[in-house]
């Protein structure tokens, strides 16, 4: 039995961190610290088209400046592609993945033709076009060098796992059950790998939370819906379900979500402007004392 709480912060090094990241990391750190548990930092750098080593280095520097400390070694997802490939392979062998050759444009056109989502793709799920291709056509198109993504057949995946209802617990929202219809409507057949990004966030985050024995996932409530999908993935691999605490997102005075490119100064710029770590913690509403200030 796991007696100690293990939390993690799992930023993606796609830019410099802002106060929203400090808030999320601070919550994960305090939850572990206050319970005498362990706090891990994981660098989620699988998206090799957007992640940069200098941003990863800046994460370590900014977090150390804020008074956070974490266990070594830091897991960097980009060093573990073989593990994610093995997980993908297991899904493929069970017939739960299929290659999708559609371009973004084709998907948008299909969705528009079906009368949904006039503004395009966001908010409407993939209509499943390539799910119905035969084995021969798939093999021929792959052999011909056509680019493809691997999608999870959500309906098949739901049928494959026997333990319905799948449940999880959120500290704020209480007991939750995964609803297959909502997964199908909210996510559809999600992409788990594509040519330039060999494994997706959804797969890697569940893989690593299980591997690292995370018992409590703290993260922003923008990912609340994703937890339904994550529970399904956990069930497919027999990975344990951690507890979740989805927290509010920090907003600007006008109610916008903080985003580096739009409205949120980077922590390092705040530091250069003379703001102290204690000042950052106060600004995000966490007690600086929890971080040694
Ligand atoms: N890499 C993800 C992010 O930065 C982690 C989200 C999570 O905590 O699951 O949004």
Residue 204 forms part of a structural domain: no
At residue 96's C-alpha, the angle toward residues 90 and 102, to 5°, is 115
Q: How far is the CA of 81 from the centre of ligand 1 (A)?
A: 17
Q: How far is 275 from 94, CA to CA, in rounded Å?
A: 53
Q: How far is the CA of 11 from the centre of ligand 1 (A)?
A: 6
Q: Which of 78, 223, 231 to mutate to test the pocket of ligand 1 (most atoms within 8 A of CB)?
A: 223
- Give the range of the structural domain holding residue 135, as residue numbers without chain letter: 95-193
pLDDT in tens, the chain (293 residues): 345 899 999 999 999 999 999 999 999 999 999 999 999 999 999 998 999 999 999 999 999 999 999 999 999 999 999 999 999 999 999 999 999 999 988 888 888 887 765 444 456 789 999 999 999 999 999 999 999 999 999 999 999 997 789 999 999 999 999 988 888 888 999 999 998 888 999 999 999 999 999 999 999 999 999 999 999 999 999 999 999 999 999 988 888 888 876 778 999 999 999 999 999 999 999 999 999 99
Q: Which residue has the tokens 């691997």?
A: 150
pLDDT for res 118: 45
Nearest CA to ligand 1 atom 4: 11
| Dihedral angle of Cα 113, 116, 119, 120, to the nearest 10 degrees | -60
Q: What CATH number does residue 99 fall under?
A: 3.90.800.10
Contacts of 177 (CB under 8 A, 6+ apart): 165, 166, 167
Domain count for the chain: 2
Q: Which of 29, 43, 201 to mutate to test the pocket of ligand 1 (most atoms within 8 A of CB)?
A: 201
Q: Which residue has the tokens 């528009």?
A: 112
Residue 37 forms part of a structural domain: yes
Q: Is there a single domain that holds both residue 105 and residue 47?
A: no
Q: How far is the CA of 12 from the centre of ligand 1 (A)?
A: 7
pLDDT for res 119: 45
Residue 219 forms part of a structural domain: yes
pLDDT for res 117: 52
Strand order from edge to edge, sheet including 97-100:
97-100, 149-152, 191-193
Q: Is there a single domain that holds both residue 107 and residue 188?
A: yes
Atom of ligand 1 nearest to the CA of 11: 4
Residue 88 forms part of a structural domain: no
Q: Which residue has the tokens 């994703």?
A: 226
Q: Is there a single domain that holds both residue 183 and residue 102?
A: yes
Q: Is there a single domain that holds both residue 63 and residue 102?
A: no
Q: What CATH number does residue 234 fall under?
A: 3.40.50.620
Q: Is there a single domain that holds both residue 108 and residue 250?
A: no
Q: In the listed set 136, 160, 193, which residue is the last one of a domain according to the structure?
A: 193
pLDDT for res 77: 98
Q: Is there a single domain that holds both residue 38 and residue 105?
A: no
**Cα distances (angstroms) measured from residue 293 to each of 22, 202, 289:** 15, 36, 5
Helices (H), the chain: 19-34, 53-65, 81-93, 104-113, 135-143, 154-160, 180-186, 201-211, 224-237, 267-272, 277-284
For ligand 1, say whether the CB of 12 is within 6 Å of any of its atoms: yes
pLDDT for res 116: 62
Q: Is there a single domain that holds both residue 176 and residue 230?
A: no
Q: Is there a single domain that holds both residue 18 and residue 56?
A: yes
Q: In the listed set 166, 193, 220, which residue is the last one of a domain according to the structure?
A: 193
For ligand 1, say whether the CB of 44 is within 6 Å of any of its atoms: yes
Q: How far is the CA of 230 from the centre of ligand 1 (A)?
A: 12
Q: Is there a single domain that holds both residue 102 and residue 183?
A: yes
For ligand 1, say whether the CB of 10 is within 6 Å of any of its atoms: yes
Residue 207 forms part of a structural domain: no
Residue 1 forms part of a structural domain: no
Nearest CA to ligand 1 atom 3: 11
Task: Give this prediction's pTM.
Answer: 0.93
Residue 203 forms part of a structural domain: no
Residue 200 forms part of a structural domain: no
Strand order from edge to edge, sheet including 6-9:
6-9, 38-43, 75-76
**Cα distances (angstroms) measured from residue 30 to each of 8, 34, 70, 268, 292:** 11, 6, 12, 22, 11
Q: Which residue has the tokens 């008074």?
A: 67
**Sign of the CA dihedral with 104 first, then 222, 178, and 3 last:** positive
Q: In the listed set 193, 223, 244, which residue is the last one of a domain according to the structure?
A: 193
Q: How far is 32 from 245, CA to CA, in rounded Å?
A: 13
């Amino acid at each position: 039995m796991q007696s100690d709480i293990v939390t993690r912060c799992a930023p993606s090094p796609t830019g410099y961190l802002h106060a929203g990241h400090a808030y999320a990391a601070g919550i994960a750190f305090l939850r572990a610290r206050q319970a005498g548990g362990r706090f891990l930092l994981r660098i989620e750098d699988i998206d090799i088209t957007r992640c940069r080593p200098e941003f990863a280095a800046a994460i370590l520097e900014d977090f150390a400046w804020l008074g956070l400390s974490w266990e070594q070694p830091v897991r960097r997802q980009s060093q573990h592609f073989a593990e994610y490939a093995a997980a993908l392979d297991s899904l493929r062998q069970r017939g739960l993945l299929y290659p999708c050759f559609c371009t973004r444009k084709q998907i948008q056109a299909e969705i528009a033709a079906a009368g949904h989502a006039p503004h395009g793709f966001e908010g409407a799920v993939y209509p499943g076009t390539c799910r119905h291709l035969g084995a021969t056509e798939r093999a021929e198109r792959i052999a011909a060098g056509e680019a493809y993504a691997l999608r999870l057949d959500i309906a098949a995946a739901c049928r494959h796992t026997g333990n319905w209802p799948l449940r999880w617990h959120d500290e704020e929202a209480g007991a939750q059950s995964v609803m297959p219809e909502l997964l199908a409507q909210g996510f559809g057949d999600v992409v788990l790998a594509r040519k330039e990004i060999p494994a997706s966030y959804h797969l890697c985050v569940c893989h690593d939370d299980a591997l690292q024995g995370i018992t409590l996932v703290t993260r922003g409530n923008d990912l609340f819906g994703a937890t339904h999908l994550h529970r399904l993935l956990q069930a497919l691999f027999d990975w344990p379900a951690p507890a979740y605490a989805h927290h509010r997102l920090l907003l600007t005075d006008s109610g916008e979500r903080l985003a580096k490119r739009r409205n949120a100064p980077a922590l390092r710029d705040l530091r250069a402007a003379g703001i102290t770590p204690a000042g950052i913690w106060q600004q995000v509403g966490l007690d600086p004392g929890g971080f040694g200030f």
